[in-house]
Amino acid sequence: STQLKTLVKAYCDHHSVDLNSVTFWFDGNQLQGDHSHAEQLHMNDWDQIDAIFYDPSACVNLKVSLNFKGKIENEFFSNVRRSDQLKNLMDDYCRRYWLDIDGVAFLFNGRLLRAEQTPDE
């Protein structure tokens, strides 16, 4: 029953990130102010809170956690550096699910991703 503000502060301290350069989101809603308890937000075990950095200089060396959901109802989790090209990630995904890379399109918010792009782009 720890307040989420304690978790948010610990996250920022651990990653040496200014609390004012990141926003936290759960289930499509931005967590506000002092944040309530997880129970009040109807959170369950293993629910994910997203940290969105809006100051690029604050997160140069941080990793990005990615969650893929495919049409074949599989999930693929991976961590990449913000400056890494997406090619290795795309290759790993296709190898894991025995897919031909030439027959797969990777989209983000409806936009086609290219292998040479990075998460920052």
**Other C-beta atoms lying within 10 Å of the C-beta of residue 8:** 19
Run of H or E residues at 9: helix 4-14
Half-sphere exposure of 81 (CA within 13 A, CB side): 5
What is the distance between the alpha carbons of residues 100 and 48, in angstroms, rounded to a whole number?
30
| Residue type, position 85, single letter | Q
pLDDT at residue 1 tops 70: no
* Assessment of whether the complete model's pTM goes beyond 0.75: no
pLDDT of 118 strictly over 80: yes
Q: Is the pLDDT of residue 14 over 90?
A: no
Q: What is the pLDDT of residue 73?
A: 57
58-75 pLDDT, tens digit per residue, is 555 555 555 666 665 566
Domains parsed from the chain with CATH numbers = 4-58 (3.10.20.90), 63-112 (3.10.20.90)
pLDDT for 120: 78
| Interatomic CA distance for residues 6 and 98, integer angstroms | 42
What sign has the CA pseudo-torsion 97, 63, 49, 116? Answer: negative
Query: Quick count: other Cβ atoms within 10 Å of Cβ 54?
Result: 10
Q: What tokens were used for 57?
A: 């200089």
The amino acid occupying position 5 is K
Q: How does residue 34 score in pLDDT terms, banded at 50, 70 and 90? A: low
pLDDT of residue 39: 66
pLDDT of residue 27: 77
Q: Does residue 38 sit in helix, strand or coil?
A: helix
Mean pLDDT of the chain: 74
The tokens describing 63, both together, are 């990793």
Highest mean pLDDT among 16-25, 55-64, 68-77, 83-92: 83-92
